[in-house]
Amino acid sequence: MTYIIITILILIIILLLIRLSITDKKIKEITNYTTELLNGNYAHRIIKKEKGNIAILIENLNTLAEKLEARRLDWEEKEILLDILFEGIREGLVITKKDGEIIKFNSSIKSIFPMVSFQPGKVIQELWINRNFIEFSTRKPEPNKIESLELDIPEMGKSFLISRFYVEKNQLILYFFIDITDSKNLKRMKSEFITNLSHEIRTPLTAIKGYLEAIEEPDLNKEDRKKFLRIVRENIDRLTNIVSDLLLLSDIERQERKLKTEKIDLNELASEVILLFRRTAENKGIQLEFAPSKIPDYYGDRFLLQQLFINLVSNGIRFTEKGRVEVSINFANERFYITVSDTGIGISSDEIPKIFERFYTVDKSRSKTQGGTGLGLSIVKYIVQLHQGEIKVESKLREGSKFTVILPAIQSPSS
Ligand code: ADP
């Protein structure tokens, strides 16, 4: 009997020991599992063999792992989208903490400001030693409101619109940097153009008014009246020239991208323009020369190219007192080289870059008395650009000037 009781007791102890060891093994497995979860490894699962509370615990842990895995994938997707947005944008973007510490920035900001070193951890106020920017970025941010600053950076020759947006929930500030140099220049050029235009128009109008008043004087002699009438006519011509040049300029600007391209024999076109100016050149005692050479047909806008020849040849004649004005056209390396050279007054090297600006004339009074508007070369430059070409000037004061227009051979529109 005692033997049986002892055997039963031993069996109970063995069963208890076995159960204890299973629980201990499982607890170890569960501990490892939670460590994996803590380390971000959500793919692992425990196979449930037990019953009761341990089974519920395992099931809960497996569900938690599944949810964490789904959330991570969702988060990764969001991060990829954010990166695409961040990197795909042309504007510079910087995210900082509320105190200005940089957390994230895109590559555009680095190409916009190559001289500034962007680093996470740096404070945004350190980027430029610029009082306005430091003041702007140090100011207490207003939640969910866009604040902006226009900043000129003279050492870069650029202007920026800097906007910032404070997301109160995350205590983060998003900075946008937009390059507004071109639009600012355009605005400036527009207002300069209007100022110049008003000036250019007012001058002949004042002259016309003044001389007409003088003509009205009853005791004006016949000779003076004739002289004043000539001046009035000259000023009216000047106004007409300005208006037609402006109309041509705006017409060219509007025509952009839809050139009326046709087959052109440039030799023929040049000869027509030479014919137009032969009398004027003869009257001035200037030789006007053009020797056609063997060149292929060009495909371009006939009317605009005619204007180009007219402006260059007329300048050559107007700014030459004696000697020659020569036109030549050559073809080499798939390019047409049109040159108009003269033995005139020449242009100094510091004036050369300016002569293509609208209304720019080296010698105002000289240009005006000769019917100039200061618009001719800006029209020429525009026409050249429309034909994907370039224009070069070589000139020496009192020796003469040579304008070379290089036009790439454009294929026939039908080919
Ligand atoms: P303008 O109507 O005054 O000729 P342009 O735009 O054609 O205006 O030329 C601008 C200025 O460039 C002229 O006023 C003149 O000072 C200078 N220029 C142009 N062509 C010549 C040239 N062949 N020789 C000397 N100066 C020139």
Beta carbons of 262 and 302 less than 8 angstroms apart? yes
Question: Which pLDDT belongs to residue 297?
Answer: 96
- Ligand 1 centre from 255 Cα, in Å? 25
- The maximal CA–CA distance of the chain, rounded, in angstroms, is 163
Can you name the residues that pair with 102 across neighbouring β-strands?
A: 96
- Ligand 1 centre from 191 Cα, in Å? 23
Ranges of the chain with pLDDT below 70: 1-22, 50, 255-258, 364-371, 411-415
Neighbour tally for 36: CB within 10 Å: 14
Question: How far apart are the C-alpha atoms of 5 and 218, rounded to whole Å?
Answer: 155
Question: Which pLDDT belongs to residue 279?
Answer: 93
* 169-224 pLDDT tens trace: 889 999 999 999 988 888 888 888 888 888 888 988 999 999 999 999 998 899 99
* Residues whose CB falls within 8 Å of the CB of residue 261, separated by 6 or more in sequence, listed in order: 299, 300, 301, 410, 413
Q: Among 245, 196, 185, which residue's Cα sits nearest to residue 383?
A: 245
3-state helix, strand, coil split of the chain in percent (to 5) is 50, 20, 25
Residue nearest to atom 21 of ligand 1 (CA): 315
Question: Which pLDDT belongs to residue 6?
Answer: 57
- Ligand 1 centre from 400 Cα, in Å? 12
Backbone angles phi, psi at 34, to 5 degrees: -65, -35
For ligand 1, say whether the CB of 307 is within 6 Å of any of its atoms.
Answer: no
- Concatenate the DSSP letters of all residues of 186-219 into one string: HHHHHHHHHHHHHHHHHHHHHHHHHHHHHHH-TT
Question: Which pLDDT belongs to residue 313?
Answer: 97
Q: What is the DSSP letter of 147?
A: E
Question: Which pLDDT belongs to residue 3?
Answer: 59
- Ligand 1 centre from 293 Cα, in Å? 27
Beta carbons of 370 and 318 less than 8 angstroms apart? yes
For residue 164 the two structure tokens come to 């910032």
For ligand 1, say whether the CB of 400 is within 6 Å of any of its atoms.
Answer: no
Question: How far apart are the C-alpha atoms of 372 and 355, rounded to whole Å?
Answer: 12
- Ligand 1 centre from 211 Cα, in Å? 28
Neighbour tally for 338: CB within 10 Å: 25
Beta carbons of 330 and 406 less than 8 angstroms apart? no
For ligand 1, say whether the CB of 374 is within 6 Å of any of its atoms.
Answer: yes
Question: Which pLDDT belongs to residue 284?
Answer: 95
- Ligand 1 centre from 126 Cα, in Å? 49
Residue nearest to atom 11 of ligand 1 (CA): 361
For ligand 1, say whether the CB of 319 is within 6 Å of any of its atoms.
Answer: yes
Question: Which pLDDT belongs to residue 415?
Answer: 47
* Residues whose CB falls within 8 Å of the CB of residue 392, separated by 6 or more in sequence, listed in order: 403, 404, 406
Residue nearest to atom 19 of ligand 1 (CA): 315
- Ligand 1 centre from 316 Cα, in Å? 8
Question: Which pLDDT belongs to residue 8?
Answer: 63
For residue 293 the two structure tokens come to 């050479």
Which ligand 1 atom sits closest to the C-alpha of 320?
A: 24
Question: Which pLDDT belongs to residue 143?
Answer: 87
State the pairing for strand pair 261-264/298-301: antiparallel
> Which residue matches tokens 């009853």?
218
Question: Which pLDDT belongs to residue 346?
Answer: 96
For ligand 1, say whether the CB of 391 is within 6 Å of any of its atoms.
Answer: no
**What mean pLDDT value characterizes the chain?**
86
For ligand 1, say whether the CB of 367 is within 6 Å of any of its atoms.
Answer: yes
Question: How far apart are the C-alpha atoms of 103 and 93, rounded to whole Å?
Answer: 11
